[in-house]
Amino acid sequence: MSKRSNPWLCLIPVAMGVFMCVLDMSVLNVALPVITQEFGASASDVQWLLTAYLITFVVLLTTFGRIGDMVQRNLLYTAGMAIFAFGSYLCATSWNIGVFILFRIFQAIGGAIMMGNSMALITELFPPGQRGMAMGVQSILIASSFALGPVVGGWITTHLSWHWIFYINIPIGLLGITLGLILLPPLGQKVKEPIDVIGLILLAIGLGSFTLGVIKGQDWGWDSEKTLACFIIAISYLIAFAMREITFEHPLLDLRLFKIRNFVVGIVGLFFVSMGLSASIFLLPFFLEGIKGLNAEECGIWLLPLPLINIFTAPLAGRLSDRINPKITMCVGPVMFATGLFLLSKVDVDVTYWELAPIFVVLGSGMGLLMPAAMNVMMSSVPAEKAGMASGTIQTSNSLARAMGVTVGGVLFTGKLNEIIPNFGNRMPNPMELQFLAMFGKPSAYVAVVEAFMESFHHVFLGVEPFIIFSFCVILLFLRGEEHLRRVRRAKAMAIAT
């Protein structure tokens, strides 16, 4: 990077792309009922709007991260913003549900380019000592995007139309493209190697099958032929992919990355906490809207403490990870997160905003302390020429963790609910159903459903606690924090010397 380039200015277009991409993943959910009605779509059609995007996104993250190591990463990232913005325009102008799904796949390609290279860009833009704080900024964007999604989607759908969920990406994308071309210096292009097309096909089929099995397993049944087929195909192709990468001269994913201790510890530690976060955010709107009776906008306001606390904790944790042993913040994070989950398992129907907000602060602080430090440690531990590969791998892991978190949360919740109310089925109690029971003289049924919901709600938070404890133990026992600090000091000394 040019010495005259201000990395914080360069971060602006990167941050815009990350925020736009992650927000889009969470903002669409609240508009799905309206979209279903407008297109006369089936439930499975609408599910594919989400599933097709996520599968495409997960499959291509590692690939585009690797491509970013071979070309000018700044131009690739800017192209990703252009594809995403144009895909958003196409989604907004869809004329039937089938075309809509195809346009979502196209949009996901742009998202994979951006997210697959975002951490590699930060690693190249920022010198050691500043990189941790920059990773903290990325953590803020990811956390705030997921939490703000319901309120933004609810407001747009209520006051404008669902089309504006996508139209709003166009001016953001155009501004991001312009700033990217102006501010981002030439980056990447450290290696010149052919793309492993066979490896890409094997990885795509393996990850795609696994993601599909995770997403649809609860609907199909975990012992159904379709679910088992997905996992059998996934295991077979991922093993074939691993064998291919071990023997191929120019692998798409260099498996030697998984010999780097701090990289593996960061991946595992962040994976299980991200699962817990995903399960939590997935269930909280059902509680706030279905049980508390809030609308989508009010729900988003209640959830705001989660991302807001990240504004303070994430940059602090990122900065500290370059100054003190990162094992400290990376262990405190899961402890606080587990504490927040335990406190959520004790809330009752009458909980107030001011009672719930401190719990969200504890929960958000836990994630804010872990994520930027883990990202900084992981990216600092890999060779510079493999930064894109590592970035794509980390984002793939996090995306799978979020998908699995929703699945695990749903399985724990509906499993407990069906224990309490036999044959309730694989569904969530919705506000309209509860209002109907309350208004039409069925108070006993209403009370039974609410009590069953709350018990199942508590069961989920306690059920994911072992994952968080496992994450804490892995980080505590295996992370080499002092090794990260030595690497940062050496890099600083080399930067000063040159």
Cα 373 from Cα 320, distance rounded (Å): 8
Nearest CA-CA partner of 474 in 263, 175, 240: 263
pLDDT per residue as tens digits for the range 10-57? 888 888 888 888 787 777 766 766 777 777 766 556 667 777 887 788
Q: What is the pLDDT of residue 103?
A: 92
Average pLDDT over residues 220-227: 83
**Per-residue CA distances from 80 to 28, 163, 329 (Å):** 20, 21, 33
Cβ 436 vs Cβ 388: under 8 Å: no
Buried b (16+ CB within 10 A) or exposed e, 383-416: eeebbbbbbbbbbbbbbbbbbbbbbbbbbbbbeb
C-alpha angle 156-85-94 in degrees, rounded to nearest 5: 65
2 pLDDT tier (thresholds 50, 70, 90): very low
Cβ 378 vs Cβ 248: under 8 Å: no
Residue 97, pLDDT above cutoff 80: yes
Q: What is the pLDDT of residue 129?
A: 66
Cα 240 from Cα 245, distance rounded (Å): 9
Nearest CA-CA partner of 125 in 6, 4, 20, 263: 6
Cα 305 from Cα 117, distance rounded (Å): 29
| Residue 344 or 4, more confident | 344
Q: What is the pLDDT of residue 337?
A: 92
What's the full length of the chain, in residues? 498
pLDDT per residue as tens digits for the range 458-491? 888 998 899 999 999 999 999 887 887 877 777 6
Cα 78 from Cα 180, distance rounded (Å): 6
Buried b (16+ CB within 10 A) or exposed e, 234-243: beebbebbbe
Q: What is the pLDDT of residue 136?
A: 73
In sequence order, the 6+-apart residues with CB closer than 8 A to the CB of 178 are: none
Cα 111 from Cα 18, distance rounded (Å): 8
Report DSSP state, residue 128.
T
Cα 463 from Cα 279, distance rounded (Å): 10
Nearest CA-CA partner of 210 in 68, 400, 351: 400
3-state class (DSSP) for residue 123 = helix
Q: What is the pLDDT of residue 30?
A: 66
**For the chain, domain boundaries:** 7-195+252-497, 196-251
Mean pLDDT of the chain: 80
| Residue 176 or 152, more confident | 176
Residue 439, pLDDT above cutoff 70: no
Q: What is the CA radius of gyration of the chain?
A: 22
Residue 437, pLDDT above cutoff 60: no
Q: How far is CA 227 from the centre of its chain?
A: 23
Average pLDDT over residues 139-153: 70
Give CATH superfamily name and number for 7-195+252-497: MFS general substrate transporter like domains (1.20.1250.20)
Average pLDDT over residues 418-434: 64
Runs of H (alpha helix) within 304-352: 305-320, 326-344
Cα 468 from Cα 463, distance rounded (Å): 10
| Straight-line distance from the first to the last Cα atom of the chain, in angstroms, rounded to the nearest whole number | 13
In sequence order, the 6+-apart residues with CB closer than 8 A to the CB of 455 are: 416, 420
Residue 82, pLDDT above cutoff 90: yes
Cβ 428 vs Cβ 152: under 8 Å: no
Beta bridge partners of 211: none
Cα 200 from Cα 60, distance rounded (Å): 9
Cα 451 from Cα 299, distance rounded (Å): 21
What is the four-CA torsion angle of 213, 215, 220, 225, rounded to 10 degrees?
0
Cα 494 from Cα 321, distance rounded (Å): 19
Cα 281 from Cα 299, distance rounded (Å): 11
